Amino acid sequence: MGLAIGAKAQLTPMKSQFFHNPYLSTPSMAGIEGRTSIFSNYSNQWNKLEGSPVMMALSVSTPLNDKASVGMNIINDKAGLMQRTQVLGTFSYKVMLTEEQSVRFGVSMSWAQDRLDQSLASGGAVNDTELARYNGRENYLDGNFGMAYINRGFEAQFSYLNLNQKRSSQFSTVDYSTFYSSVAYRFQLDKTFSVKPLVAYRGVKNFDNQYDIAAEWKADELAFYTMYHSNKSFSGGIGYEYKNHLNLSALYNSEPSTIRGLSGGIFDLIVGYKF
């Protein structure tokens, strides 16, 4: 007997890409702060499952002058036996339209490596020749392109991700992000309180496009985050920014409705410093 059913999944983005560090999703946002910034991100997903995914990222960006900026992202993603390391170098350029309006362009080139940790294989799989052959696969180059429009409190971003289309048939172990887009506006309600709603729409290779509706609520040095995701899950978190330099934030993403109670949620920890 045979039964065919449809299966759907998605790539879960790091929550810091929405408000803390948009450079993670859009190359053109490297250097957006106009000063050197460093962000680290730790994401622990679905800890009820053995071999659950863990993602870590470190990014640095700095302006070269009032128009050009450079950046670097190092991302390590591990799930079970699979481990992927990616290093991206970025150049972004800002074009001023008026004193308050600008368009930003950015491009990233990346090197990536996929490997299996054979020491975690169980039983006879340790000597499996296919596992050994997997680690013999070549590393690959890839790239991202992005642009953004900034006008006072308004931000619109778009990035075309993973330009190397060979990944889908030759390199990639999983499906991957194809594009990211978002619009946001910060409402400054008074000197100490503001709210920034954001809507994001993103693509995943071979799956339905995803959307996120989010908001950042800032009061003095504290920030609160609320998000709804199209997989019917919610995120919430809190952040603290010390003297507009050090940022500490923690966010929790609930389980999708279809697997609630089975996988566990997603915990993100963000540490950033703006010089």
The pLDDT score that the predictor gives to residue 36 is 95
The pLDDT score that the predictor gives to residue 134 is 75
Residue 237 lies in a domain: yes
Cβ–Cβ < 8 Å for 222, 240: yes
The CATH number given to whatever domain includes residue 125 is: 2.40.160.40
In sequence order, what are the beta bridge partners of 180? 159, 202
The pLDDT score that the predictor gives to residue 46 is 74
CA distance 164 to 61: 24
Residue 8 lies in a domain: no
The pLDDT score that the predictor gives to residue 123 is 66
The pLDDT score that the predictor gives to residue 3 is 56
Residue 3 lies in a domain: no
- CA geometry: angle at 159 spanning 93 and 145, to 5°? 55
CA–CA distances in Å: residue 104 to residues 66, 74, 97, 146: 12, 22, 11, 8
The pLDDT score that the predictor gives to residue 9 is 46
**Nearest CA to 259 among 31, 109, 104, 52?**
52
CA–CA distances in Å: residue 66 to residues 31, 128, 217: 10, 55, 29
Which SS3 state, helix, strand or coil, does residue 140 take? strand
Residue 4 lies in a domain: no
Cβ–Cβ < 8 Å for 63, 31: yes
The pLDDT score that the predictor gives to residue 196 is 97
Residue 248 lies in a domain: yes
pTM above 0.85, yes or no: no
Domain that residue 68 falls in: 15-274
- CA geometry: angle at 249 spanning 71 and 30, to 5°? 15
Residue 78 lies in a domain: yes
Which SS3 state, helix, strand or coil, does residue 255 take? coil
The pLDDT score that the predictor gives to residue 133 is 75
The pLDDT score that the predictor gives to residue 8 is 45
Residue 25 lies in a domain: yes
What sign has the CA pseudo-torsion 17, 44, 229, 210? positive
Token digits of residue 108: 């990233």
CA distance 25 to 17: 6
**Nearest CA to 112 among 86, 144, 76?**
86
Residue 5 lies in a domain: no
The pLDDT score that the predictor gives to residue 2 is 52
Q: What is the pLDDT along the chain (275 residues), one digit of tens a residue?
A: 555 544 444 456 777 889 999 998 899 999 998 999 999 999 988 776 777 788 999 999 999 999 999 999 999 988 888 888 989 999 999 999 999 999 999 999 989 888 887 777 776 666 677 777 777 777 778 889 999 999 999 999 999 988 776 554 554 555 678 899 999 999 999 988 999 999 999 998 878 899 999 999 999 999 999 999 998 889 999 999 999 999 999 999 988 766 666 667 889 999 999 99
**Nearest CA to 41 among 69, 60, 18, 16?**
16
- Domain count within the chain: 1
